Amino acid sequence: MADDGRPLPAGAPAFLRLLSFIFHVCKMSARVKKVLLLLLAAALLAGSGRVQKSLNRDRKELELTQMTPLKNAPPLLAFTTVALGGFRGLISNFLWIRAYDLQQEDKYFEMVQLADWITDLEPHFPQVWVFQAWNMAWNISVNFKDFSDRWRWVQRGMELLRDDGLRYNPDSPLLYQQLSWIFQSKMGQNMDDANQYYKEQWAKDMMPFFGPYGTNFDELLHPQTPEARARVGEFRDKFKMDPVFTEKVNEQWGPLDWRLPEASAIYWASVGLERAKANPGKVKPFEVAQLRRSIYQSMLQAFYHGRLVINPFDKSYDFYPDLALVSKVNDAYETEYAEESDPGQKNGFKHAQRNFLRDAVYFLYEDNRMAEAAKWFAYLSREFPDQPILDNDPNSLPSQMTLDQYAVACVQEDIGETDQNRVTAAVEGLLAHAYYELAIGQDDRYAGYKLLAFKVYQHYQSQLSPYADEIKRKGLAPFANLNQTVLDQLLDPKQGLPLAARAVLRTQLRMPPETVPANASPAVAISTNATEVTSTNLSNSAGK
Amino acid sequence: MKKILAIACLTWKAALRFRLFLVIAVLLLAAVVGIPVLIKSDGTARGFTEILITYTLSATTALLGLSTLWLSCGTLARDIEECQIQVVATKPVARWQIWLGKWLGIVSLNAALLVLSGASVYGLLQWRATRLPAAEQETLRTQVLVARGVAQPPDYNTEINTRTEQLLQERLKQTQIPNADLATARQQIREQVKAAYQLVPPGYYHEWQIDLGFAKNSLHGKPLQLRVKFNTAQTGQSGTFVGLWQIGVPGTANVWRSQPMSLSANTYHEFEIPADLFDRQGTLTIDFVNANNTTLLFPIEDGTEVLYPKGGFTLNFVRGLGILFCWMALLAAIGLAAASFLSFPVATFFSLAMLVVVFASGTLSDAVANGTVTGVNEETGTAGHFIADFVLIPFFKVILAVVNVVKNFSPIDALSSGRAISWSELGAAFGQIVLLFGGVFGLIGIRLFTRRELATAQGNQ
């Protein structure tokens, strides 16, 4: 009916009928109206409840919002995230803009605070953590000229991911990969001038937990004293590392020197992989692949410079190839190759593996580990029989070369061709290197370098024509003379090695002590079983 | 004056009666005490002090600024709306005296609150500084809690302009350049000429001579800070470049050479140089050797600066607070001017809108730079056109001119970076912010208030 009491025509539009109904409701008694409204409210509530469930499901599936409440969040953060609601984004935008502006003006002192606020406002958005950490560790750090300042910013970036980012996003592969990347690339590689400083600082941080050689797990796993238990607590609380899992990683990929950043890179990538296994639904395949790559790339780095030797004379940190890892690195390549499905990537892994094996053979030879060098040389020949072993010589198939020839060729690749002066310098350099290794207690490396020096010497001399006066004209001085020259230079009290190192050398080489000034400090005693290598016994040692 | 002071006294009484003074004072103290507990710094004493100065003084400015606007709008507008002003206006006191009295009352209230919060911040800084290790205290005293003057090399503007004109005339003799392109051609030639003063090619060195002026007399035995910045077109894998510096009197033994420094481009680097490296005339000679394989550019404007101790932190801090006080005085004038012809809510809205305009000066600058308010098409690089641009762009220019004058005084920035705020700077701030702009708003406010019919405003009664 219309409002004047007349009925609506049969073909009246729907909205007119609705208006008519509303009009009638309005004319009902208050009690009936209330009942109807209550029923309507209940129906709407029930309907919204049903819609809410499906909406929440969609939001979760589409990752439009975080459904789970913040875990372990401080009260202030929990309050802020709830109270601000949708305005969090606006405030976060303002903070991003301020951070950007300040960075453009080279004002960094607020960056930690701003990053803290920004990540607090968006705690479940891994990219925010990643960007802020990367910005601190990479961009801001290099803007400081003092290495200690740079290290502080690298630490801030690392801590942001490790201490906070992972607390709120414990299953995010991206955060584990980025944390691993800071250790592997920023600290482990040499792209930053301060990388040596980072490595030293990290080694000093880790030394209390793993002992002076970075490999002792006894105290971490079975602390006996209150001090030891406190150290384990610090390891867990400050560095957020689990001793048991650390040992597991070490068994799987090591033995690693845990003073080095590569070991931590492998640790965090391994934790990420564990989390990914536990939550397969939350992880994308490429994220797992990135974590795996972090491990094998870090393994490769650990092979190249994963053995830390602290120079006893000047306390400097020297990094050497960790030859104990050859087998594990090779295994990592094999695993990566087997798990990769992309043919292009598979080829890339094989190529990288071949390069690694070539270096491994050379380094083992250099370190006087002849049996192992021969074993991996044979492996290289078996796995890559039709690929030249030297880059600039297409005929250098593994079957055409001996191990000795390969090692000398490697040195020659490094030192150039057959220039007399350059070869002399190279031989002297290898000899000096050998004596330096002897002075710091690296006896095998001493023997390896000395052997290599002699091989290079021999190889050069053998290339000269025996019929012309070429040996006279282009030949090198006798090996013993070169050796003595180098030794004299190193033992020179004014321009040679430090007094303590000279004393060690003299002791090891069975030489009489030099006249020591009255106020000189005593020599550092280094245990060694090295023997002087001469040209006469070199050929014997080469065969072992 | 007695009448003005009497009105100011009434404003004080009102502020105390409404507990406004107490509330603001408690809020300011809470901010000063609470901020150090809440903030995270980069881990250094210097960083913490810088952030502490910035955040505490910013919080103080924000709190005082908002309360000043609210109070200045409220004290006049509500008096008018509630007819209390009629009791005052019927007394033998002129309208301008009422207006100035209220302004003086608000300003003196601000001064008291600023002294309270400033003293708290200062005390906090000094207390924290004394608890630091000696080395960090020394860093703070030489780099942050200090007033450092700045000496720069000559800008060579005269030489550059002269040479630019010479080259331009030579070019004009050889080639016909349309009048429309003349400015562009001049600018390009100028940049080329300027480059000779800024570029350091690989393997070359560049020398700057910086006159320390009268400051040389007080700098004996005091180390200085060198602040440098360079740009480069190429960035290597490490992102850093080797910096080799030689500073001192050429041809003498009084020369200091730096170790090779690892420096990144496009950022400021500050490092200490030994004392007494300048000559008798007070000229400091600085040489930089470019040992990199790429050309480096040290901008003439700010590529090389010498920072030297000019005074103590205490007076510098007082001068910084003085500039903040000038800002508050201007805000009080704006609020009172708005309340002179608007109701309380509208006056508050109007004043806050003006603050928003100040904060949005970056957007205004973009519009002025683009010549339009419609923005630029980033793909084509062309600017749109809007008929209102003819009115808005000149209007924005005027606003920016005013805003920039006020914003150029940045005491918080100077205090946190240990830069000296001179008495002349404080005087200029007082002259420009209080007397000039505050005076303009004051005159407008007094004029409007004088002409206003107070008896008609009885809406709330």
Q: Which residues of A touch B58 (CB under 8 A)?
A: none
**Tens digit of each residue's pLDDT (9 = 90 or more) over A283-309:** 888 888 888 888 888 988 888 888 787
Q: Which residues of B touch A155 (CB under 8 A)?
A: 43
Which of B311, B333, B368 lies at the terminal end of a domain, its last residue?
B311
Question: Which residue among A106, A112, A145 places its CB closest to the CB of B42?
Answer: A112
Same structural domain, B299 and B330: no
Look at B237 and A145 and tell me if their CB atoms are within 8 Å. no
Gyration radius of chain B over CA positions: 27
In a domain, B152, yes or no: no
The answer to whether residue A365 scores a pLDDT higher than 80 is no
Query: In 3-state terms, what secondary structure has residue B173?
Result: helix
User: Count of CB atoms within 10 A of residue A378's CB?
Assistant: 13
For the segment A70-98, the average pLDDT, to the nearest whole number, is 69
User: Count of CB atoms within 10 A of residue A501's CB?
Assistant: 24
**Tens digit of each residue's pLDDT (9 = 90 or more) over A93-130:** 888 888 888 877 777 777 778 888 888 777 888 888 88
Nearest to A454 by CA among A505, A390, A403, A408: A408
Higher pLDDT, A542 or A468: A468
Same structural domain, B376 and B430: yes
Look at B267 and A193 and tell me if their CB atoms are within 8 Å. no
The answer to whether residue A3 scores a pLDDT higher than 50 is no
Same structural domain, B117 and B171: no
In a domain, B149, yes or no: no
Q: Kindly indicate the confidence band of residue A145, based on its pLDDT and cuts at 50, 70 and 90.
A: confident
Which of B277, B311, B345 lies at the terminal end of a domain, its last residue?
B311
Task: Please give the Cα distance from B390 to B50 (Å, whole number).
Answer: 44
Q: Which residues of B touch A143 (CB under 8 A)?
A: 264, 267
Residues 6+ apart with CB under 8 A from B331: B65, B68, B69, B72, B351
Nearest CA in chain A to B36: A113
The domain that contains B269 carries what CATH number?
Answer: 2.60.120
The pLDDT assigned to B75 comes to 86
Same structural domain, B222 and B301: yes
Higher pLDDT, B169 or A30: B169
Same structural domain, B337 and B449: yes
The pLDDT assigned to A161 comes to 92
Look at B42 and A156 and tell me if their CB atoms are within 8 Å. yes
Residue with tokens 């990592």: A332
Task: Please give the Cα distance from A426 to A485 (Å, whole number).
Answer: 14
In a domain, B210, yes or no: yes
The pLDDT assigned to B104 comes to 93
The answer to whether residue A532 scores a pLDDT higher than 70 is no
Contacts 24+ apart (CB under 8 A), A419-428: A420/A474, A420/A475, A420/A476, A423/A456, A423/A457, A423/A460, A423/A476, A424/A476, A424/A477, A424/A482, A426/A456, A427/A453, A427/A456, A427/A457, A427/A476, A427/A479, A427/A482, A428/A482, A428/A485, A428/A486
Tell me the DSSP string of A172-203.
Answer: -HHHHHHHHHIIIIIIISSSSTTHHHHHHHHH
Task: Please give the Cα distance from B316 to B176 (Å, whole number).
Answer: 56
Side chain identity, residue A258: W
Q: Kindly indicate the confidence band of residue A470, based on its pLDDT and cuts at 50, 70 and 90.
A: low
Interface of B with A in 21-40 (CB under 8 A): 39-40
Does A108 touch chain B if contact means CB atoms closer than 8 Å?
Answer: yes
The pLDDT assigned to B107 comes to 93
The interface predicted TM-score (ipTM) is: 0.70
The answer to whether residue A468 scores a pLDDT higher than 70 is no
In a domain, B372, yes or no: yes
A368: left (phi over 0), alpha (psi -120 to 50) or beta: left
Same structural domain, B295 and B379: no
Question: Which residue among A113, A142, A155 places its CB closest to the CB of B39?
Answer: A113
Does A113 touch chain B if contact means CB atoms closer than 8 Å?
Answer: yes
Residue with tokens 């704006």: B334
**Tens digit of each residue's pLDDT (9 = 90 or more) over B73-90:** 988 888 888 888 888 888
In a domain, B316, yes or no: no
Tally of structural domains, chain B: 2
- Mean residue pLDDT of chain A comes to 78
CB of A244 closer than 8 Å to CB of A221: yes
Which of B285, B311, B337 lies at the terminal end of a domain, its last residue?
B311
For the segment B182-191, the average pLDDT, to the nearest whole number, is 86
Specify the range with the lowest mean pLDDT, choosing from A456-460, B48-52, B279-283: A456-460
Does A118 touch chain B if contact means CB atoms closer than 8 Å?
Answer: no
Percent of chain B at pLDDT exceeding 90: 16
Higher pLDDT, B61 or B408: B61
Same structural domain, B164 and B304: yes
Q: Kindly indicate the confidence band of residue A26, based on its pLDDT and cuts at 50, 70 and 90.
A: low
- Mean residue pLDDT of chain B comes to 85
Same structural domain, B189 and B138: no
Question: Which residue among B51, B237, B271 places its CB closest to the CB of A145?
Answer: B271
Same structural domain, B165 and B140: no
**Tens digit of each residue's pLDDT (9 = 90 or more) over A57-75:** 777 666 665 545 555 555 6
Does B173 touch chain A if contact means CB atoms closer than 8 Å?
Answer: no
Same structural domain, B344 and B433: yes
The answer to whether residue B314 scores a pLDDT higher than 50 is yes
Question: Which residue among B39, B43, B54 places its CB closest to the CB of A152?
Answer: B43
In a domain, B461, yes or no: no
Residue with tokens 């910084």: B320
Specify the range with the lowest mean pLDDT, choosing from A142-156, A217-231, B28-42: B28-42
The answer to whether residue A525 scores a pLDDT higher than 50 is no
Distance from CA of A145 to the nearest CA of B (A): 5
Tokens describing residue A332: 């990592």
The answer to whether residue A445 scores a pLDDT higher than 90 is no
Same structural domain, B100 and B172: no
Domain that holds residue B102: 2-144+322-456
Mutate to test the interface with B, among A118, A140, A193 (most CBs of B within 10 A): A193
Same structural domain, B176 and B68: no
